[in-house]
Amino acid sequence: MNNALRTYFWRGSFAIIMLVALYATFVRFYYGLGASTNLSDQFPWGIWVGFDVLCGVGLAAGGFTLAAIVHIFNLKAYKAVVRPAILTAFLGYLLVTVALMFDLGRPYRVWHPLIMWNPRSVMFEVGWCVTLYTSVLFLEFLPMVLEKLGLVKAHRVLKNVMLPIIILGVILSTLHQSSLGSVFLILPTKLHPLWYSPLLPVLFYVSAIATGLAMTIFESWHSAKAFGRQLEFPLVQKMTRVLAVVIAVYLTMRFLDLYHRGALSTLNNPGWERWLFGLEIVLMAVPMLMFFRERTRENPQAIYVGTVLFLLGFVTHRLNVSVTGLEASSGVHYVPKWTEISVTLAMVAFGFFVFRMAAHYLPVFEAEEHQPVPEVPVLEDRAYAHSLARGD
């Protein structure tokens, strides 16, 4: 396919997805949830919660992961990818909020948890954290805009207060990324034993960190394709190593937990749960093994494939916890309606679109050129270089 054709193809698909979603939106808000979803009293949450919200928040975890790596751990090598990660996170959270509007029965009351408190509710805590963290992300994203507009002074002011903001962001993320797992702790008998675990918050947290890294690799690859830029390849290679280790930690925890709870014996039971479980594990274990091999890490294509496999594994896990793992106890079979799929698809497509736009118009990828060393003034950096040159 030549380039022009490809562009037409993507633009056409995008337009179709958006048009269908527009109609789906009408159905949702005019006729209500009953007409626009296959949800029922037995099955009140579907893919709008399972994918749009639960996976959406996880897929946006790169923002806090990389902010921590770069600004807290001071691993300078990762600086080149911190901005795209923050941008994705910011967009991700905005999209999650939009998706939530579709799912809530009374979306105009989305702010209620801010004034009507129930501190015993995980959802209450998640609501607060997500609201605050989205504001934090806005502040973390703001420098890109200020730079673009050449507002040097505001930029400097913001930079001076960035550290506490970043720490706050990491804490808020730790809280709600794990709490999304805690949401399901109340379902000891409803959620299938392959997925119910007291460790759910920890598993969700660790898998979110892995996904943050994976999404960053995924984006680097895409932006490299889109803007003809050289992939920061040594950096990507480094990230794949880290990713492999995080997945290994995650899978070890996952299996220890299953083993100690005696849940592995349920794999003998008939039913499709075990196949979905197998799929989820394979989609995570294969990329992990791939990334541990030097051969894979030398091949951008292989890295990309591995990353996509892992992301699919992550999505499978979250859908298993929030949708498929609840089917058996609910007594009904849930298949999303076209409207649900259409809205979800539109969220993903829209995310891609806005990211590309932002990456095109804002100094997302060229942070180094605009801002030689974001958090250390140039002078100090020179001093550091001197000290390095002197050999200490």
Binding site for another protein (CB under 8 A): 29-35, 39-42, 44-45, 68, 71-75, 103-107, 109-110, 112-113, 116-127, 163, 167, 170-171, 174-175, 178-179, 182-183, 185-190, 198, 201, 326, 330, 376, 379-380, 382-384, 386-387
Q: What is the dihedral of CA 234, 230, 218, 58, to 10 degrees?
A: 80
Least distance (Å) from another protein to the CB of residue 163?
Answer: 7
Which CB atom, from 7 or from 42, has the smaller least distance to another protein?
A: 42
Which CB atom, from 14 or from 124, has the smaller least distance to another protein?
A: 124
Which CB atom, from 120 or from 295, has the smaller least distance to another protein?
A: 120
Burial of 82 per CB tally in 10 Å (0-12, 13-18, 19+): buried
Which CB atom, from 59 or from 191, has the smaller least distance to another protein?
A: 191
Least distance (Å) from another protein to the CB of residue 112?
Answer: 4
Least distance (Å) from another protein to the CB of residue 172?
Answer: 9
Cβ atoms of residues 185 and 121 within 8 Å? no
Cβ atoms of residues 358 and 91 within 8 Å? yes
Which CB atom, from 84 or from 181, has the smaller least distance to another protein?
A: 181
Which CB atom, from 205 or from 291, has the smaller least distance to another protein?
A: 205
Q: How many CB atoms lie within 10 A of CB 371?
A: 18
Least distance (Å) from another protein to the CB of residue 58?
Answer: 17
Retrieve residue 322's tokens: 């929030």
In angstroms, rounded to a whole number, what is the distance separating the alpha carbons of residues 158 and 165? 10
Retrieve residue 204's tokens: 């969700």
Q: What is the dihedral of CA 212, 168, 232, 244, to 10 degrees?
A: -40
Least distance (Å) from another protein to the CB of residue 164?
Answer: 9
Long-range own/partner contacts, residues 197-205 (CB < 8 A, 24 or more apart): 197/257, 197/258, 197/261, 197/263, 199/253, 199/257, 200/321, 202/178, 202/253, 203/250, 203/253, 203/254, 203/257, 204/58, 204/177, 204/178, 204/180, 205/174, 205/177, 205/178, 205/181
Q: How many CB atoms lie within 10 A of CB 391?
A: 5
Which CB atom, from 197 or from 240, has the smaller least distance to another protein?
A: 197
Least distance (Å) from another protein to the CB of residue 171?
Answer: 4
Least distance (Å) from another protein to the CB of residue 200?
Answer: 8
User: Residue written as tokens 């996509």?
Assistant: 308
> Cα angle at 362 between 141 and 168, to 5 degrees?
10
Picking from 90, 30, 76, the residue whose alpha carbon sits closest to that of residue 359 is 90
Least distance (Å) from another protein to the CB of residue 104?
Answer: 5
Which CB atom, from 195 or from 221, has the smaller least distance to another protein?
A: 195
Which CB atom, from 9 or from 31, has the smaller least distance to another protein?
A: 31
Picking from 314, 292, 312, 313, the residue whose alpha carbon sits closest to that of residue 303 is 292
In angstroms, rounded to a whole number, what is the distance separating the alpha carbons of residues 39 and 187? 18
Write b or e for each residue in 170-204: b if 16 or more Cβ atoms lie within 10 A of its Cβ, otherwise e.
bebbbbbbbbbbbbbbebeeebbbbbbbebbbbbb
Least distance (Å) from another protein to the CB of residue 125?
Answer: 6
Least distance (Å) from another protein to the CB of residue 372?
Answer: 14
Which CB atom, from 32 or from 372, has the smaller least distance to another protein?
A: 32
Helix (H, G, I), strand (E, B) or coil at 248: helix
Least distance (Å) from another protein to the CB of residue 261?
Answer: 14
Which CB atom, from 148 or from 156, has the smaller least distance to another protein?
A: 156
